[in-house]
Amino acid sequence: MTANGTLRNTTKDTLREVLTRLQTEGAALGHFNVADHVLLKAVIAAASETRLPVFVGASEGEREFFGARQLAALVKSLRQESDVPVFLNADHTHSLAKAVEAANAGFDSVGVDFSALPFEQNVARTKETVQAIKAINPAILAEGEIGDIGTGSEIHESAQADFSKLTTPEEARQFVEATGIDILAPSVGNRHGMLKSMVEGKAKKHLDLERIAQIKRAAAVFLTLHGGSGTDDEHFSKAIGSGINIIHINTELRVAWRESLAASLARDSNEVVPYKILRPVVDSVKQVVSARLRLFHGESVRPSAVGTVA
Ligand code: G3H
Ligand code: ZN
C-alpha cells in the first residue's frame, strides 16, 4: 500500500499480517516512540492523515513515565476509533519482568534487548523471555537484538564508539534459530540518537545495505532498523528494498517536541492554557511522523520536510 493507494488495512489486522503485506508491497512499518500524550496524539494523527499503519513504541524509561498499562489502555482506545492499524511495542526491554509486564498489559510486541551481553548469554536470556511472553499471548511478536547500535535517543556531542560490532549473517542465522524470535534488530551501521550536525541537516547516517540483504537471507525473519533518526532518505528506501520491515524513529520526534514547545511558550508569556500551548507541539511532531511514514511507503518527500527537524 502507498500513501495514495487504496486503504486495505482494517484495525482487525494483526501485526504479523500487516508486516507481511508491507513486505510484499516494498514498504516498512514506521515505529515512533512516545513518552507522553502529546507525542502519542501526534503519532496517531500522522497515521490518520497519511492513512498508513503505525507502530507506537515505548522504551522502559518511556513506559515508566507514561505507565505501561495506561499506555496500552490509551492505544487500545485510540485503535478502536482509528481506521488504520495501530500497534504497540515494548521497545528495548532489558529484563524478563518488564517483558512479562508488557505482555500482560496487552502490547502487540516486545523488543527483547540483551544485546549488551556476550552472544551466548544474549541467546539464553532472549530465548527464556520469548518463551515467557508467548506463554502469556502466543500472538505477541518477539524481537531480539544483536550487535552494538549505541544507546540514547538524544543529541550526541560526538560520534559514539566505532562500528566494530556489526551483525554478521551467520550470527543472525544462529540467533534466530536458537531464540525463536519473530523479528531481528541487527547492527548495520545504524546508531541511536543524532549528532548536532544531523539535527542541523548537515550530516546523515548511512547504512551497510549489502549486509542488510545478507542478514535477511540468512535470518529469514522480519528485520527492524533501530536508530533511524538522521538517516539518509535514499538509504532508508534501499534498506527497505534489502529487507528492513520496521524502522524506529525517536530523536527526530524529541527534537521537534522540544523546539516547538520552546517556541510555543515563547510566543506569549501570559499564556497558561495547556491545550493552547501544546496544540502546535502536536502539529510539529505530526509533520515529522507523516513525512517519515510517507517515505517508508515509497512516497518521495520534500527535503525540507525531514532535513531539519526544527
Ligand atoms: O528504539 C528506538 C530507536 O531505535 C530510535 O532511534 O532515536 O536514533 O531515532 P533514534
Ligand atoms: Zn532502538
Provide the pLDDT for residue 231. Answer: 98
CA distance 46 to 209: 28
Q: Give me the chain's average pLDDT, please.
A: 92
Number of the ligand closest to the Cα of 62: 1
Q: Phi and psi dihedrals of 183, rounded to 5?
A: -135, 135
State the average pLDDT over residues 233-247: 98
* 226, 231, 253, best to mutate for ligand 1 pocket (most atoms within 8 Å of CB): 226
Residue indicated by cell numbers 510517507: 294
- pLDDT at 307 exceeding the cut of 60: no
CB-CB contact of 238 with 217 (8 Å): no
Q: CB neighbours (10 Å) of residue 113?
A: 26
Grid cell at residue 36: 507522553
What confidence category does residue 7 fall into, taking pLDDT thresholds of 50, 70 and 90?
A: very low
CA distance 291 to 302: 9
CB-CB contact of 204 with 262 (8 Å): no
Residues 6+ apart with CB under 8 A from 10: 83, 85
Cα(124) to ligand 1 centroid in Å equals 25
Is the beta carbon of 153 within 6 A of some atom in ligand 1? yes
Grid cell at residue 191: 546508531
Is the beta carbon of 229 within 6 A of some atom in ligand 1? yes
**Which residues face 224 on adjacent strands?**
246
Q: Whose CA is nearest to atom 8 of ligand 1?
A: 227
CB-CB contact of 187 with 170 (8 Å): no
Q: In this structure, which amino acid lies at residue 160?
A: Q
| pTM of the predicted model as reported, rounded to 2 decimal places | 0.93
Q: Phi and psi dihedrals of 247, rounded to 5?
A: -125, 125
Cα(268) to ligand 1 centroid in Å equals 33
- Mind listing the pLDDT tens digit for each residue in 143-183? 999 999 988 999 998 876 665 689 999 999 999 999 999 99
CB-CB contact of 306 with 295 (8 Å): yes
Is the beta carbon of 224 within 6 A of some atom in ligand 1? no
Of ligand 1's listed atoms, the one at least distance from the Cα of 249 is 9
CA distance 88 to 33: 10
